[in-house]
């Protein structure tokens, strides 16, 4: 039978969203011990690697700028990151503070607990295979996302 005529499989998007919500709960349980959410930890870790314009950090994290700006506010209020002017007066550079670096060190321990819990549950080989499949899928999906953004 022609693939186009076959009924689609169960909704992958729904299954992935359900899985990511469950994974977020697992990691958020550990992150709560240091007063962060998993999303905030991701922002801090990436800001710690290098100071980046908001647009570049948003792209790196796979977020739109408005979502990142909303996620930055509590981190700025807590003194963990700061926004500085860039070369262009409209550009804002996300920079981690000393308090932010200290929080990343504490949060890494919490992240490690969540990661170890997951690896123990599934097994390291299964997690490695899952990560590889996720990376491969993202690479294959990216051109479709770029094509869609070119449409009027």
CATH number of the domain that residue 62 is part of: 1.10.10.10
Domain count, the chain: 1
| Domain-located, residue 110 | yes
pLDDT at 135: 95
Task: Assign 6 a pLDDT band (cuts: 50, 70, 90).
Answer: confident
C-alpha torsion sign, points 69, 73, 74, 76: positive
131-149: burial string, b at 16+ Cβ within 10 Å, e else: eeeeeeeeeeeeeeeeeee
Whether residue 12 is contained in a domain is answered as: no
In a domain, 152, yes or no: no
Taking the CB of residue 125, how many other CB atoms lie within 10 A of it?
9
* Domain annotation covers residue 103: yes
Greatest CA separation found in the chain?
A: 61
* Of 101, 46, 105, 91, residue with least CA distance to 71: 46
What is the arithmetic mean of pLDDT over 141-145?
A: 87
Question: What's the pLDDT tens digit per position in 50-80?
Answer: 999 999 999 999 899 999 999 999 999 999 9
Regarding pTM above 0.75, the answer is yes
CA distance 105 to 43: 14
Q: What is the pLDDT of residues 15-32, one digit of tens each?
A: 999 999 999 999 999 999
Is residue 10 situated within a structural domain? no
Residue 117 lies in a domain: yes
Give the pLDDT score at 147: 65
Residue 7: inside a domain, yes or no? no
Q: Is residue 130, in this structure, part of any structural domain at all? A: yes
What range defines the domain where residue 128 resides? 36-144
User: At residue 46, does pLDDT exceed 70?
Assistant: yes
């Amino acid at each position: 039978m022609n693939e186009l005529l076959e009924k689609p499989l169960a909704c992958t998007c729904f299954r992935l969203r359900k899985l990511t919500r469950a994974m977020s709960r697992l990691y958020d349980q550990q992150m709560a011990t240091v007063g962060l959410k998993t999303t905030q930890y991701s922002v801090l870790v990436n800001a710690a690697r290098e100071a980046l314009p908001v647009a570049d950090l948003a792209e790196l994290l796979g977020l739109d700028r408005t979502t990142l700006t909303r996620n930055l506010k509590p981190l700025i209020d807590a003194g963990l990151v700061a926004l500085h002017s860039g070369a262009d007066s409209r550009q804002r550079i996300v920079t981690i503070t000393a308090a932010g670096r200290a929080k990343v060190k504490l949060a890494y321990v919490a992240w490690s607990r969540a990661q170890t819990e997951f690896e123990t549950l599934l097994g390291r080989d299964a997690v490695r295979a899952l990560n590889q499949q996720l990376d491969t899928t993202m690479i294959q999906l990216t051109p479709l996302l770029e094509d869609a953004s070119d449409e009027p």
